Amino acid sequence: MSRSSYPPPTAAQRALGKRPRVNRFLRILIAVTCIIHVPFVLGALEALRRAGATDGVRWGVTAALTLVGVGLFVGRARKGMYDTRRSAAFVWLVDIPYFTHWCACIFTLLPSLVAAIVMAFTGFSPGFFVWVYAIGFALAGYGILVRRWAFVVRDVEIPVPGLDPKLDGFRIAQLSDLHIGTMTPESWGARWARAANERACDIAVVTGDLVSSGTEFYDDIARVVGRLTAKDGVYVSMGNHDYFGDGEPLIERLRKSGASVLRNEGRVIERDGARLYLAAIDDTWTKRDDLDRALADRPDGVPTVLLAHDPEKFRDAEKRDVEVVLSGHTHGGQVAVPFLARRFSLSKIAHTYTLGLYRRGRSTLYVHPGLGTTGPPVRFGVAPAVVIVTLRAA
């Protein structure tokens, strides 16, 4: 499908930037962007002073850089609300440098606040703001250019009560939160699919948020999912971002690619007389989920694997004796303290279950770290991963 043949944005999507909630959220983000530029202003003034610039030049250049820094954010934020195709040159020359700068400003804020308090008693040293911004820029560059791109393949074993020994070692390739779009191109998805296929798993699953936003990348997503192969099929559950555009055309494309999109329904997978029930719920944010309906056809005594994009559904699943829940949604915070992502990450602010394995009674939840990004395209301390889940007879 050519670019011109993509379905045009719906009336609701065209009005996205006019919605009161969106406008309020955008104003808050702009206010935050202004605040985080304060240390940058101090650092820029000092760097230009050390370079020998006159006061007029220092203030003029710093004011221009700050206006550009805040102004470009508005465009980046609006494009994030409805992702459209942009040239590689634009991405590399505008988007990536800008987000590196913006993330560096975020990094700079807290140390700068601490330093300002200390300097109030010990004397002011504006050179600090230069160095802390430079460190933040280097870390943000790593998070955007390296950590976001360099995924890992991770093995996870889950003991399953009641699993037939014939299914011991049953393997599931789990991908989640692809967020295919301008900042996460189809070529990245092809790498993830190839890594999953190399492990020759029994099934492959994608647990939601295949989309960044909008509708322009539906064909790219379908091609990525269409590359996945597994002995007993490829299965997809939907996430909240998948309905930020119009989810139905995406579902149609995914099914044409050969994947089974499970929407509050399940399938029995059988191997030599041993059975496993694979189910999935639809998106919780748009209230399309129906766990009871997804489990309605579950045979008695057959262990269940549930695909649920939002891990907050784990407790409901545990109450219904679901043995395994595979989720995503949190990205592990995207930014976390290295090696301590489960305890110290941005996802701890909003989520009960943030990353990795959780157990309640006979039920186990695995929260996938995701592969793509949402919001600022940065990862730090949380590696993107293709996860190979191996079920073990308990």
Scanning 123-176, the segments in alpha helix (DSSP H) are: 127-142
Q: For the chain, give every residue range classified as CATH 3.60.21.10.
A: 153-393
The CATH number of the structural domain formed by 153-393 is: 3.60.21.10
Return d(Cα 262, Cα 354) in angstroms, integer.
24
Sign for the CA dihedral angle at 97, 102, 106, 108 comes to positive
pLDDT tens string for the chain (394 positions)? Answer: 333 333 444 444 444 444 455 578 888 889 999 999 999 999 999 999 999 999 999 999 999 999 999 999 988 887 777 899 999 999 999 999 999 999 999 999 999 999 888 888 887 788 999 999 999 999 999 999 999 999 999 999 999 999 999 999 999 999 999 999 999 999 999 999 999 999 999 999 999 999 999 999 999 999 999 999 999 999 999 999 999 878 999 999 999 999 999 999 999 999 999 999 999 999 999 999 999 999 999 999 999 999 999 999 999 999 999 999 999 999 999 999 888 888 888 888 888 999 999 999 999 999 999 999 998 999 999 999 999 999 999 8
pTM higher than 0.85 for the full model? yes
**Calpha distance 91→107 (Å, rounded):** 22
Which bin fits 265, alpha (ψ -120 to 50), beta or left (φ > 0)?
beta
- Burial label for 87, CB within 10 Å (0-12, 13-18, 19+), is exposed
What the block records as the tokens of 259 is: 């994947």
Phi-psi region of 160 (alpha: psi -120 to 50; beta: other; left: phi over 0): beta
Q: What does the buried/exposed string (b/e) look like for 242-275 if buried means 16 or more CB atoms within 10 Å of the residue's CB?
A: bbbbbbeebbebbeebebbbbbbbbbebeeeebb
